[in-house]
Structure formats: structure tokens, C-alpha cells
């Protein structure tokens, strides 16, 4: 199994940014599909949480994040049982990760950062399993095989797990150069990393639409 880069190798402020980038890789699937109306989740609140996770660390952004989390937790979703379909499962896992990020603000520590980074890797592995378990060939199957064939060592991982690893590794290499006081949105390097995460997320969205179309 491919080993992801460990946030423990980073300074605490960059561990937090690595966690935010792990969240950002699954941002697109949250907003590309409608949220179940019965969940009562405000999309604007979710968007603000992602934006605040990428903001500079400090009391103003932390306080705003906590307020948004408190508002999110008033949604009926958190007081009901949910039987999600495949897309909704990814949405719910990402919402759960946003809540976990909130604990990172109150109790900074590498364990929570690693939990979020590993959670993103777990979702990528799960998506690979759905693709491999489908009765239909993925429309980008040839391109995916070519991508994997070019990797020096992927240890049998699937396409999305390998792509997630590549983005996580790029972040791990680039984050130490970011000023401690800067957020991801406030530097060209941070924005480039967010763009890599968005590209990954858009590929996920395309595959999720295919899964829905084929009736997985």
C-alpha cells in the first residue's frame, strides 16, 4: 500500500494547511451534486467552512470557523438517521471531516491532521474500489492505465489513490516554504496547491456522475 507523506514532518501551522488541503480535494463532490433537502444543510455555511479552513491560522478565522460549525450542527441532519447513496456518502464523509478540522483548531496536534490526510486517502481508495467493481468500463480507463504505467512505484494502488498521493506529496513538499502567517488563499503557492486539489476533485465528480449513470 502506498504510504502518504506524514504531516508529523511539518510544522504545526503547515500540518493544519495539509489538513485543509485534504479537505479541499473532496470539496467539489460536495457542491457538484444537490444536498438532500431533508438534511437541512446550508450550502453557504459549507462554502464558508472550506474558505475558513484555507484562511490564515489565528483567532479571527478560528472564531469564524467555530461559529459556522455551530450553525451547521443545527441542521436536521445531525438529529436524524441517514441512509445515503454513493454520492451522499462522500458528501457526508466530507462534512464529518469539516467537523474534525474544527477539533484541530481547539486541540492542535498531528494526530488530527493525520486523521484528515488519511481520511482523504481512504475515500480515494474507496472510489477506486467502486470503479473496479463496476460492470461497465470507466470512460477514462485507458488514460488511467497510462497514468499508472508511468509511475515508478504505486504498489498496486488504483488511479484515484495514486492521484491523491501525488497531490498530497506536492503539498508536503511545498508547504514548508509558505510563511507561517499566510493562508493558502493568500500566496501563489497556496493557490496552486488548492488548484491541484480542485483538479482532483473535478475528476472525482466526473467519475461519480458516471457511477450514477451506470446505476452502480
- Per the rule left: phi > 0, alpha: psi between -120 and 50, beta: everything else, 182 is beta
Cα 136 from Cα 6, distance rounded (Å): 36
The winner for highest mean pLDDT among 92-96, 149-153, 183-187 is: 92-96
- Mean pLDDT within 167-191: 92
Q: Does residue 74 carry a pLDDT above 90?
A: yes
Give just the sign of the alpha carbon dihedral 107, 111, 114, 119.
Answer: negative
Q: Taking Cα atoms as reference points, which of 42, 15, 20 lies closest to residue 31?
A: 42
Q: Taking Cα atoms as reference points, which of 49, 27, 26 lies closest to residue 126?
A: 26
Cα 124 from Cα 204, distance rounded (Å): 9
Q: What is the pLDDT of residue 58?
A: 87
Full-prediction pTM beyond 0.95?
Answer: no
Cα 139 from Cα 72, distance rounded (Å): 36
| Confidence tier at 1 by pLDDT (50, 70, 90) | very low
Q: Is 215 exposed, middle or buried (0-12, 13-18, 19+ CB in 10 A)?
A: exposed
Q: At how many degrees (to 10) do helices 188-214 and 12-24 cross?
A: 30
- Mean pLDDT within 68-79: 96
Q: Does residue 168 carry a pLDDT above 70?
A: yes
CB-based contact 91:35 (threshold 8 Å): yes
CB-based contact 164:2 (threshold 8 Å): no
Q: Does residue 2 carry a pLDDT above 50?
A: no
Count of Cβ atoms closer than 10 Å to residue 38 Cβ: 11
- Mean pLDDT within 22-48: 96
CB-based contact 160:204 (threshold 8 Å): yes
CB-based contact 12:108 (threshold 8 Å): yes
- Mean pLDDT within 149-157: 76
Task: Average the pLDDT over each of 4-13, 88-97, 157-166 and give the range with the smallest value.
Answer: 4-13
Q: Does residue 29 carry a pLDDT above 80?
A: yes
3-state SS assignment for residue 17:
helix
Q: What is the pLDDT of residue 68?
A: 97
Mean pLDDT of the chain: 92
Amino acid at each position: 500500500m502506498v504510504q502518504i507523506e506524514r504531516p508529523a514532518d511539518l510544522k504545526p501551522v503547515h500540518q493544519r494547511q495539509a489538513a485543509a488541503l485534504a479537505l479541499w480535494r473532496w470539496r467539489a463532490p460536495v457542491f457538484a451534486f444537490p444536498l438532500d433537502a431533508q438534511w437541512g444543510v446550508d450550502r453557504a455555511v459549507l462554502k464558508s467552512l472550506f474558505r475558513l479552513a484555507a484562511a490564515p491560522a489565528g483567532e479571527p478565522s478560528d472564531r469564524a470557523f467555530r461559529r459556522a460549525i455551530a450553525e451547521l450542527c443545527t441542521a436536521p441532519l445531525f438529529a436524524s438517521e441517514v441512509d445515503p447513496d454513493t454520492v451522499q456518502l462522500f458528501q457526508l464523509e466530507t462534512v464529518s471531516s469539516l467537523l474534525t478540522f474544527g477539533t484541530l483548531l481547539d486541540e492542535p496536534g498531528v494526530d488530527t491532521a493525520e486523521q484528515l490526510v488519511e481520511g482523504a486517502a481512504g475515500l480515494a481508495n474507496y472510489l477506486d474500489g467502486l470503479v473496479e467493481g463496476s460492470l461497465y468500463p470507466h470512460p477514462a480507463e485507458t488514460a488511467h492505465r497510462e497514468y499508472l504505467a508511468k509511475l515508478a512505484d504505486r504498489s498496486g494502488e488504483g488511479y484515484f489513490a495514486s492521484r491523491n498521493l501525488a497531490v498530497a506529496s506536492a503539498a508536503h513538499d511545498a508547504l514548508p516554504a509558505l510563511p507561517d502567517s499566510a493562508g493558502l488563499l493568500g500566496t501563489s503557492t497556496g493557490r496552486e496547491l488548492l488548484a491541484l486539489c480542485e483538479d482532483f476533485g473535478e475528476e472525482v465528480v466526473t467519475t461519480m456522475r458516471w457511477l450514477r449513470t451506470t446505476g452502480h
